[in-house]
Amino acid sequence: MAEAKVAKPFNVRRFLIFLLIGVVLVLLIAGVISITGVWNTILLEPILNFLVLMSKYFLGSFGIAVIVLTILLRLVMFPLTMKQLQSSKAMQAIGPKMKELQKKYAKDQQKLNQEVMKLYKEEGVNPLGCAFPMLIQFPIWIALYQSVIQALAYTPENLLGLSKQLYSSAVIRGALPLNHHFLWLDLTKGDIFMAILTVASMWALQKMSVQPNADPQQQSMNRIMLWVMPLMFGLFSLSLPSGLSLYWVVSNIISMILQYRVTGWGTLTMPSLPSFLKRGALQPVDNPAAKTEGTASTGKKAVKGVAPEQSGAKADGASSEKKEAVGGDVISQRKKDSHGKRRSKRKD
Amino acid sequence: MFDSKQTKLKKTLIIAILLAALALAGCAGTRGWPATVSEGGTLYVATMDGRVLALNPDSGSRRWDWQPTAKQGGQTASFLSCGAGGSLVGGLLYGAPAIANGLVYVAFHTGMVYAIDAVSGTQKWDYDLRSTVSGGVAVDNNTVFIGSSNGNLSALDAGNGSLKWGFSAENEVWATPAVVDGVVYFGSLDHSLYALNAADGTKKWAFKTGGGIASTPLVVEGVVYVGSFDNKFYAIDADTGMQKWVFEGAGNWFWSQAAYNNGTIYAGCLDHNVYAIDAGNGTLVWPKPFDAGSLVKASPVITGGMLAVASEVGKVYGLDLKTGEKKWEFDNITAKVLSPLCAAGDTVYINSEDNKLYALNGETGRQVWGIPLTK
C-alpha cells in the first residue's frame, strides 16, 4: 500500500526570500536594474545617509557617528556573528578527530570525504555554518567601509561622488562637508596612534581566534597570519584616512568581546613582564604547553584548568577521554600532562 | 575537502590581496579637473598628468610644455595615497591657469603655486601654500589669489610670489576666486560667500547659505551669482552682500560657475539639468530646464551664439540661448568631462579625463581638432 506522505510545512519566510531573490535576478537579467544600482540603493545609500545624518546630530562629529554606526550594525548582525563564532568553535572542537581521519585515509580521498561527512553528521556540525553568516555580513562591511570613505569626502572627486548618493533631504545635504576632526584626529589623514591601535586590536583578535596546533608547519602559518594582517592594516592606517582606522578599531574591539563570549581569551595571554622579556615577544604563539600555562593564569577557562579547545569539545558533547581515544595526538598528550602537573601543584 | 598547507597559504594571500584592493578602493578615481584658458592668441592648458602647455588655438600644436622639474615641497602624497597624484611630479591640477603680466600662474593640488613665462615656458617663481589646493587661481592688479584646504585665501605678489596677505575662512576653500573692481569674491565649504578688499584682505561682507560653496562666483553689473550645496542659486548685491533673489528649484548641488548673456544666467547643476534664470528676478526663462542626462560639473560657456554644455559622461551640447532647445550634440568623447569649458571666438575647448583636448565649433558642434595632451 502507498505510504502516507508527510507534507513539509510551508515556510512563508523562505518562500518570500526566494521570491525576492528571483524578482531581483529577473530584473538584473532583463537590464531593468544594474548590480551597482541595487548595491547603492539597498546597502550603500542607506548606510551613508544614516552616517551623515548622525554626524549632524551627534555634536556634528563624524568620529562619534562612525562609532555609533559601527556599534549599531554589529548589534543588528549580532545573531549572525554569534552563529558564525559558534560554528567555528564547533568545527575546531572536532579538529583532532578530523586530523585522525586525515591521517587514516591519507591515500583515499573519496573515503576521507565520506568519513568526514559522517563525522559532521555524528557531531551535528554544519561545515557551512561559519561561512554562511560571514558571507551575509561581508557586503555590509564593504558598504560601511565605502560609506566611511565617501562621507569623509576628503578630495573633490569624493565629494562629487557623494552628491550622487545622498538623499534629497535638506538636513542631510546641509550637513556637508562633515566635521572631520575628532579628539586629536583629522579623520581624513592617517595617524600613527590609530595605526598602532589597529595593529594591536587586530593582533589581539587574531590571537583570540587562533587555535593551538602542534604541527610546526601550521604553527608557522599561524604566526604569519598573526602578524601579516595586523601589519598590513597598520600600514593602511598610516596612509588612509584615520576615520577608517577608527572603524577598524571599534569593530575589532566589538569582535573581541563577542569572541570572548564564545571561546574565551583563546591563545591571547597576559604574561608577566619578566617572563615576556625572557621568552621574547616573537616566540611561537601556539605552543600548546606554554598556552595552557597562560590560559591557566589568566583565561576564564582557567578556573577549571581546561584548555579552550577542550572546553569547546565538552560544550559540544565530546568528552576529553573520547577526544584522546580518537585523536591520540601530541596536543591531547600534552594537555593531559599539564593537567596532571596542575593538579599535583594544587595538592601541594 | 581539506586544505593543504599550500592551499591555506594561497587563501591567505588571496584574502590579503582582496583586503588591500578593498582598502585602496576608497581613493580610486582622484584625478583632478584641469582646464584651459585662452589669452593673446594662445591656449594655456593644464593637463591630467600635471603639466602646463601653450598651444596654437588653430591647430593644437605645442609652443611649449612645462612641468615642475622635481618635487619642490608641497603636500606630498603618501605611498599608498592616490589622492594627491602621488605618481606625478607636480601633482594633480584643478581648474585653469591664469594669465597676466606675461606670466602664467598655476596652482597644483600639492599646494605649490608657480609662475611661468608665457612666451618661453620657463619657471619664474614658486610658492608653497602648505595646504592642498582644489581650485584654480585668479589674478588682478599684480596679485594672485588662491584658496586652499586649510581655509585660507592667500594673496601673492604676482611679480615675485611673496605673500601679501591671507584671510582665514572657517572651512576649506575649494572654489576659484573671482576678482572684480578691487574686490575678491570666493566661496568656502563653511557655507559662506566672502567679499574681501583685494588690496589688504579686509572683509567687506560674508553671505551665509545653507550649504558649502565650491563654485566660482559670477559677478555681473554689481550682482554676484553663485550656487551652493544647499541646492539653491543666489543673486547677491556685490556692494552690500544682501540677497536679491534665490532660485530653489534644483534637485542637487551647484558646483560650476554660471554663464551670463543678455539678462539671463545659465547654471549647470549636479541634478543633470541646466537652468536658464532671469538675472533680474530669479525666475526660469526656458519652458523647462535642459536635461543633460548626467551631472553637469563643467562650467558652461557661450560661444557661436550657443550655450555649450558638457555632461559628466562626456556628451557636449549646443543649446539655443533663448529656448534651451538642443541644436547640436557631440558624443565622440569617451571619458568624463568635469573641467570648466573654455570659449575663444567661435570655438569651445574641452578637457576630458582621458587627458585629451577637443576644439569644437560652437555654432555647429563639429570637431575642429582633438589632441592627446600626454607628453
How far apart (Å, rounded) are the C-alpha atoms in residues A178 and A34? 30
Residue A346 lies in a domain: yes
Query: How far is C-alpha A163 from the geometric centre of its chain's CA atoms?
Result: 33
Query: What is the least distance, in Å, from the CA of B104 to any CA of chain A?
Result: 24
**Partners of residue B27 in chain A, C-beta under 8 Å:** 149, 155, 240
| CA dist., res. B10 & res. B299, Å (int) | 50
Are A156 and B174 in contact (CB < 8 Å)? yes
Same domain, A220 and A158: no
Q: Are B223 and B215 in contact (CB under 8 A)?
A: no
State whether B230 and A221 contact (CB < 8 Å).
Answer: no
Say yes or no: ipTM exceeds 0.95: no
Same domain? For A214 and A340 the reply is yes
Residues A231, A348 within the same domain: yes
A330 lies in some domain: yes
Q: Are strands B33-34 and B94-95 parallel, antiparallel or unpaired?
A: parallel
Same domain, yes or no, for A171 and A302? no
Instruction: Compute how many other C-beta atoms are within 10 angstroms of the C-beta atom of residue A279.
Output: 13
Q: Among A180, A208, A229, which residue terminates a domain? A: A180
Q: Do B212 and A239 touch (CB under 8 A)?
A: no
C-alpha cell at A315: 560544550
Q: Is residue A18 part of a domain?
A: no
Partner residue facing A221 (CB), from B9, B27, B210: B9
Q: Do A61 and A103 reside in the same domain of the chain? A: yes
The residue in chain A having the minimum alpha-carbon distance to the alpha carbon of residue B31 is: A157
Cβ atoms of residues A54 and A69 within 8 Å: yes
User: Same structural domain for residues A74 and A110?
Assistant: yes
User: Does some domain include residue A137?
Assistant: yes
Pair A128, A196 in one domain: no
Shared domain for A196 and A173, answered yes or no, is no
B252: which chain A residues are within 8 Å (Cβ-Cβ)? 163, 168
State which of A180, A212, A230 marks the end of a domain: A180
Tally the domains of chain A: 2
Domain ranges of chain B: 31-160
Residues of A within 8 A of B253 (CB-CB) are 163, 173
| Helix (H), strand (E) at residue B117 | strand B112-117
Supply the range of the domain harboring residue A309: 191-239+264-348
If asked whether residues A155 and A284 sit together in one domain, one would say no
* A246/B241: higher pLDDT: B241
Q: For residue A345, what pLDDT band results from cuts at 50, 70 and 90?
A: very low
B328 has a chain A CB within 8 A of its CB = no
CA geometry: angle B146, B151, B156, nearest 5 deg? 30
Q: Does A10 fall in a domain? A: no
Does residue A248 sit within a domain? no
Q: Are residues A158 and A274 in the same domain?
A: no
One digit per residue, the tens of pLDDT, for chain B of length 375 reads 444 455 555 555 656 666 655 555 544 457 899 999 999 999 999 999 999 999 999 999 999 999 988 655 566 544 444 444 445 666 889 989 999 999 999 999 999 999 999 999 999 999 999 999 999 999 999 999 999 999 999 999 999 999 999 999 999 999 999 999 999 999 999 999 999 999 999 999 999 999 999 999 999 999 999 999 999 999 999 999 999 999 998 999 999 999 999 999 999 999 999 999 999 999 999 999 999 999 999 999 999 899 999 999 999 999 999 999 999 999 999 999 999 999 999 999 999 999 999 999 999 999 999 999 988
A73 and A118 inside one domain:
yes
| CATH 2.20.25.90 corresponds to the domain B31-160 | no
Name beta bridge partners: A200: none
Question: What confidence score (pLDDT) does residue A73 get?
Answer: 82
Looking at the complex, report in whole angstroms how far the Cα of residue B135 sits from the nearest Cα belonging to chain A: 9
Is residue A286 within 8 Å of residue A219, measured between CB atoms?
Answer: yes
Q: Do A218 and A171 share a structural domain?
A: no
